[in-house]
Amino acid sequence: MWKKVGSSRYKLNHFAISWDQNSNLVGPGNIHEDVTLSHNGKSFTGTFTIDQYDQSGNTLAHIAGSVSATRLTVDTPASILF
């Protein structure tokens, strides 16, 4: 899910199911992002947090950091990634 909260600012909320290295269910992970889109719409920067929970809803880990991205299109060559 995402919501526009400013002229170029968005808040995102993602849920995912996590598994351990032995394919055992760990529990849900929740990713929050607060990002600002560049003026040309081709990149964004912001912050994120990830909270990993066990199957009972107990917090196993909390991670916070920065995120940035550049828009790719169907015509973007793989060489742009290297």
User: Which runs of consecutive H residues, i.e. helices, occur in the chain?
Assistant: none
Give the tens place of pLDDT for each residue, 44-63. 999 999 999 999 999 999 99
Question: Taking 90 as the threshold, does the pLDDT of residue 20 lie above it?
Answer: yes
Amino acid 22: pLDDT? 97
Amino acid 4: pLDDT? 97
Give how far Cα 80 sits from Cα of 45, 46, 51, 52, 72, Å: 19, 22, 31, 32, 9
Contact 7, 34 (CB under 8 A): no
Domain boundaries along the sequence of the chain: 2-81
